[in-house]
Structure 1
């Protein structure tokens, strides 16, 4: 459900006393979801799942098939009409589905099976945590910190948390498709703080996008931005533990 209004303010305005006081210790950590604590399965695995679901698996056995599909995906993404569809796609499931269909329709392997491809994209096991996600969340929990997720995502990411048995380590989720806003809108960060019952000044936002996730600093939070890179090993989340010591 999209909520048009929140009880939290639209901007953070510290009092003179707060500005003069020492910076409070971190009491809560907010994480971006995609490419911060979870990542989608690799392209070839996804394509093979799609191929298996629609009887196109044999097409992937041809030499260079996956590389050609990757090329078509990149080329299609650059088309002005396709790029326009991506704007605001995480504001609702409907907009995201339309954006994906408009993109995949330009790719030979995916054309005509977009709905099956979408089901494989959103399957509970299509998004997996980085190796250092669970250890970091458990270490934060052991230190008594509250944990939240603030994500531009087009469906309920809790299904992926549940699949990986991490849902009990997250106290609150603020998802763009549920609130009708995208980062860096301050409402998302402030709503997460309100849901956790923590002061924005005592909250750390961790993400991989300096504009969207770094926008948390405009409403009083601290931010830690990870390198924007596709990782197959640990994400580097252990550094967060040093920041909350």
Structure 2
């Protein structure tokens, strides 16, 4: 992620002192992971819609509904509902059900679509999620989850046998704020007993996950576009942690 320095109206507010050229970075002792798009991904919206409606949907109708969801992202009412959506469970539900209901055919099942979002079985780990977590844990690194989300993720990880790798769970809705607020990253570091300079944040959102740099952490942003169940490129995390 590319981040700008903290600036005021007339330029930088403060500048950190330059580190000596020969100063080695601290060893990585902890790794924080985002959830959706980083370790897990959902199935397709087409499959979710068919399940929520409980009936067959022809291709033309499905294309129209999917196009409607895309168009809904530009709807001012939907846009307003997304603001601060991850600061509470209520705001999160409102944001998503408002978007789903922007498509008339989906309005009756907006609640069911949101329930799918929370259902552990709807989420699929990427093909390299388990092996990466295993390698990091066996190397003695502490792991945590830091996610902008509206519900507790532990049940989803447990459903897939992946909850035991983590010692810190930081859900935005429980803290009333969203990434890149340093509060979330620093809370996770304290839970893991690692300093920010010893911690790597891994995610897929340049501003939110990359914002960990502003909190004193290192950050790695994964490229977009990985299909559910595919390799996510998490081998890069192993290299950044000094394991390969």
TM-score (norm. length: structure 2)? 0.87
2:26 and 2:133 map into 1 onto residues whose CA distance is 21
Alpha-carbon contact 1:128-1:160 (below 8 Å) kept: no
Instruction: Identify the residue that residue 241 of structure 2 maps to in structure 1.
Output: 244
Contact 1:93/1:154 (<8 A) preserved: yes
Contact 1:148 1:171 in 2 (8 A): yes
Contact 1:46 1:121 in 2 (8 A): no
Select 1:105's aligned residue among 82, 101, 107: 101
SS of 1:188's equivalent in the other structure is: helix
Partner secondary structure for residue 108 of structure 2: coil
**Any idea what SS the aligned residue of 1:113 has?**
helix
CA apart distance, 1:206: 0.6
Superposition deviation, residue 63 in structure 1: 3.2
Distance in 2, Cα, partners of 1:89 & 1:160: 20
Q: How many residues align structurally? A: 225
Distance 1:115 1:65 in 2: 20
1:90 and 2:89 are equivalent in the alignment: no
The aligned residue for residue 28 of structure 1 is 30
8 Å CA contact 1:125–1:163 kept in 2: the answer is: yes
C-alpha distance in 2 between matches for 1:125 and 1:111: 23
Q: Which residue of 2 aligns with 1:139?
A: 135
Residue in 2 that maps onto 1:192? 188
1:41 shift after superposition: 1.7
1:7-156 → structure 2 map (5 Å cutoff): 22-52=24-54, 57-58=55-56, 60=57, 62-156=58-152
Residue aligning to 1:234: 231
- Paired with 1:113 and 1:200, the residues of 2 have a C-alpha distance of 43
**Distance in 2 (alpha carbons) for counterparts of 1:209 and 1:114:** 26
Name the SS of the counterpart of 1:109 in structure 2. helix
Unpaired stretches in structure 2, ≥5 consecutive residues: 1-15
Moved more, 228-237 or 153-162: 228-237
1:223 matched residue in structure 2 = 219
Q: CA deviation at 1:229?
A: 2.3
Structure 1 unpaired stretches of 5+: 1-14
Structure 2 partner of 1:3? none
Partners of 1:113 and 1:224 lie apart in 2 by 37
Cα RMSD of the aligned pairs, angstroms, is 1.9
Displacement after TM superposition at 1:48 (Å): 2.1
Aligned-partner SS, 1:150: strand
